[in-house]
Amino acid sequence: MALTPRIAIDAMGGDVGVRMMLAGAAMARHKHDGLRFILVGDEVQIKAALDNHPNLRAASDIIHTDGMVTGEDKPSQAIRKAKSTSMGLAIDAVKRGDAGGAVSAGNTGALMAMAKLALRTMPGIDRPALAALLPTLGANDVVMLDLGANTECDATNLTQFAVMGAAYARTAMGLERPRVALLNIGTEELKGTDEIRDAAALLRAAKGLPMEFTGFIEGDKLSRGDVDVIVHDGFSGNIALKTIEGTARFVTDLLRRAFTSSTRSKIGFLISRPATELLRHHLDPNNHNGAVFLGLNGVVLKSHGSADAKGVANCVHLCAELIEKDITRQVTEDLANFRSGDAA
């Protein structure tokens, strides 16, 4: 039976704040009228923004606080003031069971630290991982993790990430046996660090899991669609993610410059506009907005700070889907099967 999605929104997070976060939540509810919300932040600002979204107002409760986590706050500072900030109170709503999940566009490090402290990690998980969906040339998106929560990882961490990433791929993309690979500097078995090679050995030996370990994958194949889950430490993953995002902006800006360089180019743009619009849609980060912290006893998603209303709505939709399909239970069951198989 599907769970009823009730989502706590950190209304003060993001580059724009209340107006954009509530516009995204309202857009999500227009497509999913069963959604309900707890809006956390300055009550005066929230009520003013809700005047433009009566559909959202009818499905929302407000928790007032004038405290917020800034982009400059260190995780330790954020933790100390968690009970008085919109981010901390949104996570606390998940901890109390008042909300099935939380969405914030605020400080990533602070969100990770507060979520881990409040919700704790699942049994069998040493460290949670930040996972996101990215577009590919294949039939499905690809799950990448970790994207920055853990800069250094051992083989055990990487194998746990693989199990969690596969469960996420089954939930978010409906895949029965996701193809899982480890990011490495080559595809040969002898390539890479000891941690990566040891993780590969553990995953090859794992039996009975609903996933297929395909070995190593190199950085130039990340967007080919050859695999469904790519696993790496947070240091490499964050660099890879920022490189992908930067390349997408580079291609978009280069095309814009090329198509406005001359009258002939502008005519060419009009002729090729359907193709360029498809490309722009595919590269738009708002269409894949929302990274989830896997391995916690609760659902917490990070929206990009610069996301527009469509991007926030997509993040809220993903949060609702993970609540409805009970991603926490699926990850817990897969981890239990992995540990029992390892013991055997």
d(CA 204, CA 315): 33
Architecture of the domain whose range is 126-288: 3-Layer(aba) Sandwich (3.40)
pTM of the predicted model, to two decimals? Answer: 0.87
Q: List, in order, residues 6 or more apart from 73 with CB less than 8 Å away.
A: 107, 110
Q: Which amino acid is at 262?
A: S
Contacts of 7 (CB under 8 A, 6+ apart): 25, 35, 36, 37, 38, 99, 100, 101, 102, 103, 316, 319, 320, 323
Please state the separation of Cα 14 from the chain's center in Å.
15
Taking the mean position of all CA atoms in its chain, how far away is CA 137? 20
b vs e for 315-342, b when ≥16 Cβ sit within 10 Å of the residue's Cβ? bbbbbbbbbbbbbbebbbebbebbeeee
Per-residue pLDDT of the chain (344 residues; tens, 9 = 90+): 455 689 999 999 888 889 999 999 999 998 888 899 999 999 999 999 999 999 999 999 999 999 999 888 888 988 998 899 999 999 999 999 999 999 999 999 999 999 999 999 988 888 999 999 988 888 888 999 999 888 899 999 999 999 999 999 998 888 999 999 999 999 998 898 999 999 999 999 887 788 999 999 999 998 899 999 999 999 998 898 888 888 877 877 887 787 777 777 777 666 666 655 555 655 666 778 889 999 999 999 999 888 899 999 999 999 999 999 999 988 888 888 776 655 44
Query: What is the sign, positive or negative, of the torsion defined by CA atoms of 47, 52, 55, 56?
Result: negative
Structure tokens at 132: 């996101």
8 Å CB contact between 189 and 197: yes
Alpha carbon distance 226, 230 (integer Å): 10
Report yes or no: 78 and 87 within 8 Å, Cβ to Cβ.
yes
CA distance 23 to 26: 5
Q: Where are the domains of the chain?
A: 1-121+295-325, 126-288
CATH topology of domain 1-121+295-325: Isopropylmalate Dehydrogenase (3.40.718)
pLDDT, residue 265, reads 72
- pLDDT value, residue 279: 55
> 126-288: same fold as 1-121+295-325?
yes
